[in-house]
Structure 1
Amino acid sequence: MKSLSLYNRTSTLGGIYFLFLVNRMQMHYFILIMPVYLVHSYMVWAIVVMGLLSQLNLMMMSKWFTSSYAAKGYQGFLQLFGKRAVQIFAILGFLIILLKISIVTLGYVEMLHSFIFPSMDKKWLILMILLISLFVASHGMENTLRFVVIAFLCGAWIVVLFIPFFFQADASYRDLYPLIPTEWSGQSWQGLWFIWSAFSGPVYLAFMVPWLSSNKKISKYLVIGNMLSIMEYILLFVASVLFYGSHYLRKIDFPIGYMGSYIQTSGLERIDYILISFHMFNYVFDISILLLCFYGAGRIFMRKMKERSTRIGLLSSWFVILISIILMDQWLWQTVPGQKMLLNLQIWIGACIYLLIPTILFTAVKRKESM
């Protein structure tokens, strides 16, 4: 069984990497369906409020990033919580990560199938995405974290192409009213949870601190990365409201994707194909990082942390994910109620872990330091 140096560290990443990591881990599948969940124009304030609360969470996480316990990785968690608690956390993390990888992959594959490959069996698209992610993850955690630079350069500029939707002749700014809600429904509460869950991606960075810098100045990069995400969400949401109107918006599966097909260029047709393809880099990065976390969680609850990581272990984790996604697609994703159930489950879990993990880590570090 050949060993594989997946979790070795030759250097630490800091500064601008934190900005890229926070931003790209907040810009995944949810950005494509976000307008459908928010619908009403006044939900732009919900993006602002949830984004600012996310800033507070990231400030708490910066306390964890700069702690001596975080730098020790697995041993630091053992010192804070004990072996049994860490194993329980690992089992929960194993299941949560499996669910997130499955929904992120199925969501992106659904979009690829709808826009670019309508005649291809979705199983081949699932296999393609996972094989690329496996290739990236096989280079180890450090190199996979560095891949965020490519993901950022290939995806961050896309939002700029949607600015012309603000100035089209048929854009009615009346669709942005009311900016203050006259009523608050269950859908509005779900929209709040959706936004909070969409901002939750950086919570996984809490388990990657050994490869990240513990410099006390990193908090400003966390803040800037989160602010970029807030601006991207606001810009895309407002553009979609102006383009569709609130009444029609709720009926579109992938509003951002369909808007891409209306972007006019002099030399290129169907620019939405190009945008969706470039967006794949972000998904590959997201799934690769989660695959390594998934394998790491499995090693913890199977008590193999003292052994080196192996190719068989990584491939076994990959096969578990592949089989789970195919079964989930076959049993649940094919139906509208099944899709809604999975998405709502991911929204609630993502929101809860973003509420709990930074608070727990911040409290645990403060308690240990005061003893």
Structure 2
Amino acid sequence: MSGFSIFDKTSSLHSIYVTLMVNRIQMLYFVIILPVFLIYPYMIWVIILVGFLSQMSIFLLSKWFNSIYASKGYEGFAELLGERSVRVLAFIGLGLILLKITVITLGYVEITQHFIFPSLNTNWMILFILLICWYVGSLGMAPTIRFVVIAFLSTAWMVLLLVNFLFQPSNTIHDLFPLVPFDWTIESWKGVLFIFSALSGPEYLVLLAPWFNTRKKILKYMTIGNAFTIFEYLFLFIASLFFFGPHYLKEIRFPMMEVMRYMESPVFERIDMILISFYLINFVFAISIFILLFYGASRITLKKSKEQTTKSGFAFCCSIVFICLFINNELFWKEATNQNILLELEIWAGALTYILIPLFLFTSLKRKGRV
């Protein structure tokens, strides 16, 4: 099949795209189940504190964006770390990227089946989503990055629909107590880990540096995206506390979706079905980006990074992703215990990559005297 420039870098995108990407990548499957993992009202302060920790990681990432290596892409990584080390890291990255694709895809599919298509085989939904992502990704990295604008405009406004739930007559300020933990348990530590993992994702943007105008206040734009995410998490968590109360919240499987089911409209009977459908746009954007990164990491691992990209090669990578999703869906995700294992793995993997990748790149730049 004829070659095509899927990783074309002729255009330099404005840094505002970084803001939108940081925010939308942080607002995936974890935000939907976040209240279940937090439960306790004092986690409001934990969200804020972990948000500052997330900002530290973003600060370290900005050092990479402003380095002389960032705009060189693969060549920059090879110059800084060595080609063999880059290949090893790319091989490890394949597993991490595949795990993230698996959790966010199967998570969204489960929600869709639960609220919209209870009798539909989830494998068909997986195939449908991946076909869309294959099309979006095949347009190239630059158009896929630009797609974040559509993803943001299609989903960011949803948080405003919950404003009404903050001012219900049944709400009481006691639902937000205690704001100070009297007994810090292992579940509290898991909540901290979950929040930090939920905020992960921006670390993968270092791989997209050649497509951005990286030297124009990149830290400012990344900070805005991270701050907006923290605001959304706080808003959604407080709204769920008011709606369910801290004691009943832990019994709900998908709190945010259940809240949306209570929304009323003179036109549409099931607003939640419309919102879930709209939210697919954000998942398509994120999955498309990760599939492109998976394809790029595969080429680096196989020493084909300097060869022309091909449609057949990209389609083959998408096929591998689908097979892995199909296997995980049949053998793991449908079983609650095994599903929790995959979720736990992604929680730990997301937290570790978000703290280790920025720290590793910053340390490498420091050794080279480029910071």
User: What TM-score range do you get, normalising by the shorter chain?
Assistant: over 0.9
Instruction: Measure how far apart 1:171 and its partner are.
Output: 1.8
Amino acid paired to 2:319: F
Question: What is the distance in 2 between the residues matched to 1:360 and 1:346?
Answer: 20
SS in 2 for 1:305: coil
* 2:55–2:223 CA contact under 8 A, matched in 1: yes
For 1:45-86, what per-residue CA distance to the aligned partner results, in whole angstroms no more than 9, with x for missing partners? 111011111111111111111111011000111111111111
Instruction: Measure how far apart 1:2 and its partner are.
Output: 1.8
Amino acid paired to 1:284: V
For 1:202-229, what per-residue CA distance to the aligned partner results, in whole angstroms no more than 9, with x for missing partners? 1110111011112241211111111000
Which residues of 2 match residues 1-371 of structure 1 at below 5 A?
Answer: 1-369=1-369
Question: What is the distance in 2 between the residues matched to 1:15 and 1:325?
Answer: 33
Question: What is the distance in 1 between the residues matched to 2:37 and 2:339?
Answer: 14
Question: What's the TM-score, normalizing by structure 2?
Answer: 0.98
Amino acid paired to 2:327: L
Amino acid paired to 1:144: T
Instruction: Measure how far apart 1:370 and its partner are.
Output: 5.4
Amino acid paired to 1:262: Y
Question: What is the distance in 2 between the residues matched to 1:326 and 1:245?
Answer: 37
Q: Percent identity?
A: 48
For 1:250-275, what per-residue CA distance to the aligned partner results, in whole angstroms no more than 9, with x for missing partners? 11111101110111223322111111
* 2:67–2:370 CA contact under 8 A, matched in 1: no
* 1:32–1:255 CA contact under 8 A, matched in 2: yes
Question: What is the distance in 2 between the residues matched to 1:238 and 1:108?
Answer: 23
Question: What is the distance in 2 between the residues matched to 1:370 and 1:35?
Answer: 41
Question: What is the distance in 2 between the residues matched to 1:201 and 1:274?
Answer: 26
Question: What is the distance in 1 between the residues matched to 2:175 and 2:12?
Answer: 47
Question: What is the distance in 2 between the residues matched to 1:18 and 1:328?
Answer: 31
* 1:26–1:200 CA contact under 8 A, matched in 2: yes
* 1:14–1:218 CA contact under 8 A, matched in 2: no
Give the ranges of 4+ consecutive aligned residues of structure 1 lying more than 6 Å apart after TM superposition: none
For 1:9-36, what per-residue CA distance to the aligned partner results, in whole angstroms no more than 9, with x for missing partners? 2211123211101100100000000000
For 1:258-300, what per-residue CA distance to the aligned partner results, in whole angstroms no more than 9, with x for missing partners? 1101112233221111111111111000000000000000000
Question: What is the distance in 2 between the residues matched to 1:303 and 1:187?
Answer: 44
Question: Which region of structure 1 is more displaced relative to structure 2, 239-248 or 100-109?
Answer: 239-248
* 1:193–1:351 CA contact under 8 A, matched in 2: yes
SS in 2 for 1:369: coil
* 1:58–1:223 CA contact under 8 A, matched in 2: yes
Instruction: Measure how far apart 1:308 and its partner are.
Output: 0.7
Question: What is the distance in 1 between the residues matched to 2:362 and 2:57?
Answer: 10
Question: What is the distance in 2 between the residues matched to 1:87 and 1:15?
Answer: 28
Amino acid paired to 1:286: A
Question: What is the distance in 1 between the residues matched to 2:142 and 2:185?
Answer: 45
Question: What is the distance in 2 between the residues matched to 1:152 and 1:216?
Answer: 22
Amino acid paired to 1:288: S
SS in 2 for 1:306: coil
SS in 1 for 2:69: helix
Question: What is the distance in 2 between the residues matched to 1:349 and 1:291?
Answer: 18
Question: What is the distance in 1 between the residues matched to 2:10 and 2:61?
Answer: 24
Matched residue count = 371
SS in 1 for 2:368: helix
Instruction: Measure how far apart 1:366 and its partner are.
Output: 2.4
SS in 2 for 1:41: coil
* 1:14–1:215 CA contact under 8 A, matched in 2: no
Question: What is the distance in 2 between the residues matched to 1:45 and 1:82?
Answer: 42
Amino acid paired to 2:364: A
Taking only aligned residues, the RMSD between alpha carbons, in angstroms, comes to 1.1
Question: What is the distance in 1 between the residues matched to 2:107 and 2:370?
Answer: 45
Question: What is the distance in 1 between the residues matched to 2:169 and 2:131?
Answer: 44
- Listed as ranges, the gaps of 5+ residues in structure 1 are none
* 2:70–2:209 CA contact under 8 A, matched in 1: yes
Question: What is the distance in 2 between the residues matched to 1:333 and 1:171?
Answer: 36
Question: What is the distance in 2 between the residues matched to 1:231 and 1:302?
Answer: 42
